[in-house]
Structures are given as structure tokens and as C-alpha cells.
């Protein structure tokens, strides 16, 4: 399954999807900037929520 078809990402997958480092994903998660949820000790990111967050970021930059 490719990244576009996935519905939930882990840190590594989200970093690849966004084209940023895993460190940046973790940093934005710690700062509560990225929409996330936890499963045990794993941070998970719902693709739909990330796509909505990206749209909001683009709108802020206009």
C-alpha cells in the first residue's frame, strides 16, 4: 500500500508523506501542532486530519 492510500501514519510514514524529517514530525507532535492520537506509546496520525491541517497551514500563508 502506498502512502497516498494509507489512512493512518506512524512518525516515519508521516515524515515521508510530508517530505520532512522524522525529527521535525516528533518536534511538531511534542509542541501539539500536528493532529495526533496515541496507541500505547506510539503516536499515530490520521491522513484526513493531516490533510485538513495542511490546508489550514496553506490558508494561513496566503
Ordered by where they begin, the domains of the chain are: 8-61 (1.10.1660)
Which band of pLDDT confidence, cut at 50, 70 and 90, is reported for residue 60?
confident
Please give the pLDDT value at position 1.
67
**Spacing of C-alpha 3 from chain mean position:** 12
Name the residue with cell 494561513: 60
Confidence category of residue 8, pLDDT binned at 50, 70, 90:
very high
Do the Cβ atoms of 17 and 50 come closer than 8 Å?
yes
Confidence of residue 6 (pLDDT cuts 50, 70, 90): confident
Amino acid at each position: 500500500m502506498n502512502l497516498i492510500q494509507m489512512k493512518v501514519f506512524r512518525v516515519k510514514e508521516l515524515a515521508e508523506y510530508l517530505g520532512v524529517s522524522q525529527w521535525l514530525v516528533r518536534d511538531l507532535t511534542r509542541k501539539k501542532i500536528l493532529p495526533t492520537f496515541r496507541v500505547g506509546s506510539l503516536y499515530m496520525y490520521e491522513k484526513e486530519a493531516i490533510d485538513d491541517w495542511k490546508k489550514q497551514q496553506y490558508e494561513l500563508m496566503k
